[in-house]
């Protein structure tokens, strides 16, 4: 019998062996030394390994560079700043650009003791206080290190007395102490030249120097200009940026921060990106001092149609509720949809999809579509939902510590839908009707191509022209004038409508009615009047797309606006019009043969319409 080794003794041998460190070659050497020492000597294990933790925090996810910089702007606002400046300094040649970033504010600054605490991870004077913007004392450090391996922090509470703290990922990684302690802040009488130059020299962009309002001129006493208090976060040689060029970083930061901080800007905060002042950008178009008000448009603002406080449970199974404020704004679709596309898309930015805006304690944390609350239809571009929430509902709205986006709990979505669902449905229906009416517009004062073509073909039809006496001609014109009142197009006078109707015996009109068949035919005073229902899926799924195609609008280009300009039509839409006009002409003639024929044709029209509705929407 072969004797086997005792399993218990084998386990003891394995347990006594020193575990091997399987670290990468670029891992912090100091961290490796500390870990090896702890494993060998069974020393006290720190809760955090500073050497590896700091490097790991470089990978804290931010959506983009701007969202990381917003952490510093948040801190500045919370520190009572009246002026905040964001800088991107680009040097070097193409393909080898070096970009330094910085954020300056004139807030209350930090004393040396507070500065030291603020540099530590988790160090905060208002930890988990939900009344302000920040909560955990992590944002400044993680945001800075997500962009650069070095964060230099300068703060002062009296002119010319700058205290400095620096976090250097590489230096911390070399530390071999089990506990890495922060040094005391260093007192400086002047800022380093590379930091001072950010504040008093123009940036490479904007290239138009007249757009840049410097904090201080080169010959100014910088300490005096900086005043008695403030803070600067400096991130040199950034190696993790969303974009490679300063111009793109500047443009993106300007656009995003203008919207995120619209409330503070509207209340007087002076925010600059590369020395160019940022105007508030309001996706709801309701602020009286936002950038859209400066555009040459009328009207200049949206219309508030609902303001409602809604109680939301703090947790799904909690009895405690906290109110949120919901406002719904309707954009002036009738006027703005007729503006040039450049103004609609580039200046007003109507179609960027910021249907829902959520602000936490006055700072936007989300802007975008929420189809579970609204819809996927293009009408959602023409209204806005603004939701103001307090910090007490962070968990309910799924707001992370870095304030990037929201992830609403299911019960919160249901609460909001229940509170505003009926208003949203009504608004969607109203805007669909408006879109359909505008899509059905025709150029005033003359028949369309389809109406004219049908009229040209009339002499070749088997019909006999009626000879009218002068008295009958006068009576017909009077009747047509009365008819013209009901068939006027936008921007058309009664006389223009009369001349248009006299010019063609065929008229296409439009009506929006959810309960109507997709077409109707009338014959009055020698005119065949075809009325199309813009509420029927025939119109939205076939007629309107062909109409856009016939007007030379590329596919998909007008899905957002939903309103092509009323121009001359050609191609398939003219053929479809003629199919419908010939049907209308034939139906009108047959209906005139007797009451039974009229009833049968009317029944056929309704049955056909209902069948088509089901087939198009099933």
Max mean pLDDT range (206-210, 258-262, 339-343): 258-262
pLDDT exceeds cutoff 70 at 30: no
Stretch 298-313: mean pLDDT: 96
State residue 13's pLDDT score: 44
Tell me what percent of the residues of the chain surpass a pLDDT of 90.
51
State residue 6's pLDDT score: 56
Q: How far apart are CA 369 and CA 576, in angstroms?
A: 36
State residue 341's pLDDT score: 86
Q: How far apart are CA 40 and CA 34, in angstroms?
A: 10
State residue 409's pLDDT score: 93
State residue 183's pLDDT score: 86
pLDDT exceeds cutoff 70 at 590: yes
Residue 186 banded pLDDT, cuts 50, 70, 90: very high
Residue 176 banded pLDDT, cuts 50, 70, 90: low
State residue 487's pLDDT score: 83
Q: Which is more confident, 69 or 404?
A: 69
State residue 556's pLDDT score: 43
- Supply the pTM of this predicted model: 0.77
State residue 94's pLDDT score: 85
Helix and strand tally (H, E) in the chain?
A: 22, 16
Residue 261 banded pLDDT, cuts 50, 70, 90: very high
State residue 154's pLDDT score: 97
Q: Which is more confident, 197 or 594?
A: 197
| Number of other CB atoms surrounding residue 169 within 10 Å | 17
Computed over every residue of the chain, the mean pLDDT equals 85
Query: Nearest CA to 346 among 438, 248, 255?
Result: 255
> Tell me: the pLDDT tens digits for 65-106?
999 999 999 999 999 999 999 999 999 988 889 999 999 999
Stretch 411-428: mean pLDDT: 95
State residue 188's pLDDT score: 96
What residues are paired with 325 via a beta bridge?
309, 388
Residue 12 banded pLDDT, cuts 50, 70, 90: very low
Stretch 427-432: mean pLDDT: 90
Stretch 292-303: mean pLDDT: 94
State residue 424's pLDDT score: 95
Tell me what percent of the residues of the chain surpass a pLDDT of 70.
83
- Residues written for the chain: 618
State residue 136's pLDDT score: 47
> Tell me: the pLDDT tens digits for 434-444?
888 777 777 77
Strands annotated E in 35-191: 83-91, 98-105, 150-156, 162-168, 186-188
3-state DSSP assignment of residue 327: strand
> Tell me: the pLDDT tens digits for 542-587?
988 888 775 654 444 444 454 544 545 667 888 998 999 999 889 8
Which segment of 11-25, 333-347, 373-387 scores lowest on mean pLDDT? Answer: 11-25
State residue 7's pLDDT score: 52
State residue 463's pLDDT score: 57
State residue 31's pLDDT score: 61
State residue 77's pLDDT score: 95
Pairing of strands 519-524, 506-511: unpaired
For 309, residues 6+ apart whose C-beta sits below 8 A from its C-beta are: 323, 324, 325, 326
Q: Which is more confident, 449 or 101?
A: 101
Q: Which is more confident, 495 or 157?
A: 157
Residue-by-residue DSSP string for 397-416 = HT--TT-------HHHHHHH
Q: How far apart are CA 170 and CA 28, in angstroms?
A: 8
Q: How far apart are CA 228 and CA 159, in angstroms?
A: 4
Q: Give the chain's domains with CATH numbers.
A: 55-277 (3.30.565.10), 295-435 (3.30.230), 440-617 (no CATH)
For 372, residues 6+ apart whose C-beta sits below 8 A from its C-beta are: 413, 417
């Amino acid at each position: 019998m072969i004797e086997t080794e005792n399993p218990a003794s084998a386990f003891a041998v394995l347990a006594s062996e020193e575990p091997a460190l399987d670290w990468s070659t670029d891992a912090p050497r100091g961290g490796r030394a500390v870990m090896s020492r702890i494993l060998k000597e069974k020393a006290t294990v720190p809760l955090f390994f500073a050497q590896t933790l700091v490097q790991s925090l470089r990978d804290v996810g931010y959506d983009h560079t701007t969202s990381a910089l917003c952490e510093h702007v948040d801190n500045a606002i919370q520190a009572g700043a009246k002026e905040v400046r964001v800088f991107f300094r680009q040097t070097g040649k193409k393909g080898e650009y070096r970009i330094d970033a910085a954020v300056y504010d004139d807030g209350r600054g930090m004393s040396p003791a507070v500065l030291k605490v603020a540099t530590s991870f988790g160090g905060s004077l208002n930890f988990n206080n939900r009344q302000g913007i920040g909560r955990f004392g992590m944002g400044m450090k993680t945001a800075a290190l997500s962009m650069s391996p070095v964060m230099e922090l300068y703060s002062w509470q009296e002119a010319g007395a700058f205290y400095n703290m620096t976090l250097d990922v590489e230096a911390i990684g070399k530390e071999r102490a089990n506990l890495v302690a922060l040094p005391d802040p260093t007192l400086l009488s002047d800022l380093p030249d590379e930091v001072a130059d950010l504040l008093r020299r123009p940036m490479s962009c904007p290239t138009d120097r007249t757009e840049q309002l410097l904090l201080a001129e080169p010959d100014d006493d910088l300490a005096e200009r900086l005043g008695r208090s403030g803070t600067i976060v400096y991130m040199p040689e950034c190696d993790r940026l969303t974009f490679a060029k300063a111009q793109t970083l500047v443009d993106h930061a300007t656009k995003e921060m203008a919207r995120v901080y619209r409330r503070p800007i509207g209340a007087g905060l002076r925010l600059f990106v590369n020395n160019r002042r940022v105007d508030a950008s309001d996706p709801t178009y309701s602020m009286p001092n936002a950038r859209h008000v400066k555009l040459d448009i009328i009207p200049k603002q949206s219309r508030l149609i609902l303001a409602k406080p809604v109680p939301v449970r703090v947790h799904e199974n909690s009895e405690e509720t906290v109110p949120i404020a919901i406002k719904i704004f309707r954009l002036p679709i009738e006027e703005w949809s007729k503006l040039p596309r450049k103004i609609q898309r580039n200046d007003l930015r109507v179609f960027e999809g910021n249907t829902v805006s959520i602000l936490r304690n006055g700072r936007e944390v989300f802007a975008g579509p929420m189809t579970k609350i609204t819809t996927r239809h293009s009408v959602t571009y023409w209204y806005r939902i603004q939701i103001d929430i307090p910090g007490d509902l962070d968990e309910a709205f799924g707001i992370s510590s870095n304030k990037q986006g929201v992830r609403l709990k299911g019960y919160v979505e249901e609460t909001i839908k229940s509170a505003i669902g009926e208003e949203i449905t009504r608004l969607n229906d109203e805007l669909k009707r408006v879109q359909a009416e505008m899509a059905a517009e025709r150029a005033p004062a003359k028949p369309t191509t389809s109406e004219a073509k049908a009229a040209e073909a009339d002499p070749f039809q088997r019909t006999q022209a009626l000879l009218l006496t002068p008295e009958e001609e006068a009576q017909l014109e009077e009747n047509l004038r009365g008819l013209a009142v009901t068939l006027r197009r936008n921007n058309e006078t009664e006389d223009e409508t009369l001349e248009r109707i006299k010019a063609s015996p065929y008229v296409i009109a439009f009506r929006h009615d959810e309960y109507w068949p997709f077409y109707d035919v009338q014959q009055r005073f020698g005119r065949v009047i075809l009325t199309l229902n813009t509420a029927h899926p025939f119109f939205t799924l076939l007629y309107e797309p062909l109409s856009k195609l016939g007007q030379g609008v590329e596919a998909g280009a007008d899905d957002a606006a939903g309103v092509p300009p009323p121009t001359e039509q050609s191609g398939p839409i003219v053929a479809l019009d003629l199919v419908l006009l010939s049907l209308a002409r034939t139906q009108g003639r047959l209906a005139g043969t007797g009451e039974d024929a009229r009833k049968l044709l009317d029944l056929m029209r309704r049955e056909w319409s209902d069948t088509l509705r089901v087939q198009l929407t099933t």
